[in-house]
Chains A and B, each alone.
Chain A
Amino acid sequence: MELNVSLYRYNPEKDEFPYMKKYTITKPEKDIMVLDLLNLLKEEDTSISYRRSCREGVCGSDGMNINGKNGLACITPLSDVLRGNKLELRPLPGLPVIRDLIVDMTQFYNQYEKIKPFLQSDSEPPVQERLQSPQDRDKLDGLYECILCACCSTSCPSFWWNPDKFVGPAALLQAYRFLADSRDTKKQERLEELGDPFSVYRCHGIMNCVNVCPKGLNPNKAIGEIKSMLLTGTKEEKIKVVGLE
């Protein structure tokens, strides 16, 4: 069977506008991954550009829009996504395109850096490790595994609209990863930096992020947790203020 692949092409040196280019390729007998298919196409047309590294779904390089849904090319089997014999590959939506399937991820990374994605503690570290109970450590499961592929944030209309002000699901997941860490002592400061109308509150819970996450993570839930921490945090503040008066 022939596969009809429609590939988003754009070379800033040659093309005034991006266009969809059609490729026909014999469908391999084995069920291969979308990345394998791209590699086959690139052997024929070396000008096709895309990012890839680990080819096993842990490095987060090859996020792209596959037949309308964001995913990682290297762990998406053709059998999961083919519509008839058609496959359409586009770059992740909402970010500037550099070339073909490669987007400029600066805005995405800026949001990640903004949430201070590192452990902060007021106490001097002990000689050995800081202790953490398995129960406290369990709270980080489903959070720390994020691979920064940007599938979630680039499927989020709020992020498309305000990529500079709305932190986006990926970075919010990481914000909560540190809020949830029993070893981090900067909870209040972290929350304060998220309390404006945009950073968190532009999430309206449409769950596109959950729908596309190739690692099965749930940024929506993490955002919900942050929202309730913001709420209780504010209440405590008020009580404290009243108490002082």
Chain B
Amino acid sequence: MNTVVNLFNNKQVKEFDALIIGGGGSGMRTSLELARSGLKTAVISKVFPTRSHTVSAQGGITCAIQSADPNDDWRWHMYDTVKGSDYIGDQDAIEYMCSEGPKAVYELEHMGLPFSRFDNGRIYQRPFGGQSKDFGKGGQAARTCAAADRTGHALLHTLYQNNVKEGTNFLNEWFAVDLVKNSKEEITGVIAFSIESGEVCYFKAQATVLATGGAGRIYASTTNALINTGDGLGMTLRSGFPAQDMEMWQFHPTGIYGAGSLVTEGCRGEGGYLINADGERFMERYAPNAKDLAGRDVVARSMVLEILEGRGCGEEKDHVFLKLDHLGADVLNSKLPGICELSRTFAHVDPVKEPIPVVPTCHYMMGGTPTNIHGQAFSQKNGEDFTVPGLFSVGEAACVSVHGANRLGGNSLLDLVVFGRAAGKHINEAIKSGGGVDNSTSEDIDEAMQRLNKLNESQDGFDVARIKKELQTCMQNYFGVFRRGEFMEKGVKELEEIKFKVDNLHLKDKSVSFNTSRVEALELQNLFEVAQATAISALKRTESRGAHARDDFPDRDDENWLCHSLYDPTKKDISKRKVNYEPKQVKAFPPKMRSY
């Protein structure tokens, strides 16, 4: 006990120009840019970088590199992304992502990413959901660049390898606890501790980049890794900064029934399709044109409707099947080898012979810390945006927003590299031109230590594993694929009760060295912040748009809700923020009826 107190009170200061929290795709793309710039940079990651969740991405990275189709156009990709977002994606950011995308993808190839290839030697591209040619008029496009069905793995390892090459400073298995904020509301760094040794440090930096990924673990059933606990958002929300579009959670149509593991949309891109208990290809009814390659929100809702109407498969009639066997063993083994492996392991099904049981599963957080295309985090005062000095966010943790109310498949990996790169470039220029933040006082630093101290001193209280289950069950029951006001109100109330428990967790094991129960307790508190932001934002948005589907407000309401929701953690309420309709190189795409 004494050693604990001593170690945790004896905090050192380590100073860097830029600090990146998170060693996944977005964090390592940012760090790569900064390592090359010569700035003193460190990546703090709670896991060894290649254990980050980017590794689980399968199908690919969507980008108009004109390989499958020499006439492909990034503007078509932009159109698809805007439409996919159900018109609340920011068009300046979407334009930037789609137009800069090819450069970012070619860079990955130059770094060594082992993309699959066409016969002419160019990068292989496959069709994915929501993709079209000629602004929706030219039929299905094939725009997703792939390394078999292990694109995330290949991308993450390539980025790690190139960070090794550039000598990036990694602090692996360090856990960031809270942001340090000074009296001018500037972020001056974080408090973090070494999971291995327990050493606590104040990491001081001119730029703190949150690249902490998603928080799918707020739900009981998710494709997300166990480490996806929204640590960055937990930190910003506790510091009083807002989160945007938190009601927008993507449920991926094809999570393996029972296990939750992801089955890539690339399966349907390669020609697989969904069937119900009658063996019917039901997506033909819901999306006559795009069928199984409609937007993910559309496919997930159609699946749930099939199940609710009694056409689900299995004894409990609670899932549907993904049929792949007609593609043949050759295609499955060359294009989807990872899926075959996962399916055999977790569904005990060989896709070469039998269909895979699947169910919509929480997959992606479209919301996050609001940022501009440079990764600078925003807050609001009296309805006006202002950037928070010192604070940046990239990747799934951020909300630029390129995904709006529904992300298209293959756009998350593109988001990571495009905006990781952009943030790195911006930070480099800003710091070299003298931009930076003031110091924090020792009171400011102590403030950021409070959560950790309270946990370390806990003598009694609530059990982490049990409360985590309560939280996940609440979110799963009341904030799933279909939502209704009265249920969500119940959910919001339940969360208020859970709040007390989450604030009073009992850390039974106080040991210092690699005590994973300490990490899990801190993660649960982060999950809670994200869950509450989600619940309140979902209850307040009284319409259906993209992934947010309410049966008490079944229609999209552009008059009142063609806007972002901005959740203010200090008021536990949302306000509306304008969506950007001002792209620079093309005319804005106005809202239209969205059908596939």
Partner of A50, one of B120, B123, B516: B516
Binary contact track B197-241/A, C-beta < 8 Å → 1, others 0: 000000000000000000000000000011100000000000000
B516 A183 Cβ-Cβ under 8 A: no
- In the complex, residue of chain A having the shortest beta-carbon distance to the beta carbon of B161: A118
Task: Check B487 for interface membership: any CB of A closer than 8 A.
Answer: no
- CB-based contact B164/A117 at 8 Å: yes
Question: Out of A46, A102, A132, A184, which one reaches B508, CB within 8 Å?
Answer: A46
Q: A56-B261, A118-B165, A137-B114 are in contact. Are A102 and B514 (CB under 8 A)?
A: yes
Q: Does B595 count as interface, using CB distance less than 8 angstroms? A: no
Within 8 A of A (CB), among B32-86: 47-48, 50-53, 55-56, 65
Q: A20 at interface (Cβ–Cβ under 8 A)?
A: no
A82 to B127, CA, bound (A): 43
Q: Are A144 and B512 in contact (CB under 8 A)?
A: no
Tally of chain B residues near chain A (CB < 8 A): 58
The CA of A13 and the CA of B515, in the complex, are separated in Å by 11
Please determine whether B50 and A52 come into contact, CB atoms closer than 8 angstroms. Answer: no
Q: How far is the CB of A46 from chain B (nearest CB, A)?
A: 4
Question: A53 CA to B55 CA in the complex, in Å?
Answer: 10
Binds A, one of B104-112, B174-182, B445-453: B104-112
CB distance A125 to B509 under 8 Å? Answer: no
Stretch at the interface among A57-65, A192-200, A230-238: A57-65
Which residues of B93-118 have CB atoms within 8 Å of chain A's CB atoms?
A: 105-106, 109-112, 114-118
| The residue from B112, B118, B121, B226 contacting A118, defined by CB atoms under 8 A apart | B112
Q: Is the CB of B117 within 8 A of A119?
A: no
Partner pick for A131 among B121, B154, B226, CB 8 A cutoff: B121
A147 close to chain B: CB less than 8 A: yes
The interface centre, meaning the residue of B48, B65, B154, B516 with most chain A CB atoms within 10 A of its CB, is B516
A127 to B153, Cβ gap below 8 A?
no
> A52 to B106, alpha carbons, bound, how many Å?
32
Tell me, rounded to whole Å, the shortest Cβ–Cβ distance linking A216 to chain B.
Answer: 8
A49 to B346, CA, bound (A): 24
Q: Is A148 an interface residue (CB 8 A)?
A: yes
Determine whether the beta carbon of B513 is less than 8 Å from that of A55.
Answer: no
Q: Is B558 an interface residue (CB 8 A)?
A: no
> Which residues of chain B have C-beta atoms less than 8 A from A102's C-beta?
514
Q: Does B441 contact A (CB under 8 A)?
A: no
Complex interface: chain B residues within 8 A of A11 (CB): 511, 513
Contact with B along A51-95 (1 / 0, CB 8 A): 111111111110000000000000101000000000000000000
- A133 and B121 contact, CB distance less than 8 A: yes
Please, which residues of chain A bring their CB within 8 A of the CB of B105?
Answer: 129
* Residue among B50, B118, B227, B261 with max Cβ neighbours from chain A (10 Å): B50
- Among A13, A113, A184, the most chain B Cβ lie within 10 Å of the Cβ of A13
Q: A99 interface residue, CB < 8 Å from B? A: yes
Cα–Cα distance between A183 and B114 once the two chains are bound (Å): 10
Q: Which of A47, A59, A118 contacts B225 (CB 8 A)?
A: A59
Contact B56–A58 (Cβ < 8 Å): yes
B3 contacts the other chain (CB 8 A): yes
A240 close to B (CB within 8 Å) = no
Residue of A nearest to B345 (CB): A75
* CB of B143 within 8 Å of the partner chain: no
Contact indicator B116/A56 (Cβ below 8 Å): no
A13: chain B residues at CB < 8 Å are 3, 511-513
Cβ of A206 within 8 Å of any chain B Cβ, yes or no, is no
Check A129–B65 contact: CB distance below 8 A: yes
- Chain B residues lying within 8 Å of A178, measured Cβ to Cβ, are 112
Q: How far is the CB of A116 from chain B (nearest CB, A)?
A: 8
Contact present for B153 and A147 (CB under 8 Å): yes
Question: Which residue of chain A has its CB nearest to the CB of B468?
Answer: A43
Q: Which of A50, A98, A118, A144 contacts B111 (CB 8 A)?
A: A118
The reply to whether B514 and A129 contact each other, CB–CB distance below 8 Å, is: no
Which residues, 497 to 544 on B, are CB-close (under 8 Å) to A? Answer: 508-509, 511-517
- Residues of A contacting B284 in the complex (Cβ-Cβ under 8 angstroms): none
User: In whole angstroms, how far apart are the Cα atoms of A50 and B519 in the complex?
Assistant: 12
- The answer to whether B161 touches A53, judged by C-beta atoms less than 8 angstroms apart, is no
> Can you identify 9 A-B contacts, CB atoms within 8 angstroms?
A14-B511, A46-B517, A47-B509, A53-B226, A119-B161, A134-B121, A144-B154, A145-B153, A148-B48
A→B interface (CB under 8 Å):
11-14, 42-43, 46-47, 49-61, 75, 77, 98-100, 102, 105, 109, 113, 116-119, 125, 127-134, 136-137, 140-141, 144-145, 147-148, 178, 181, 183-184
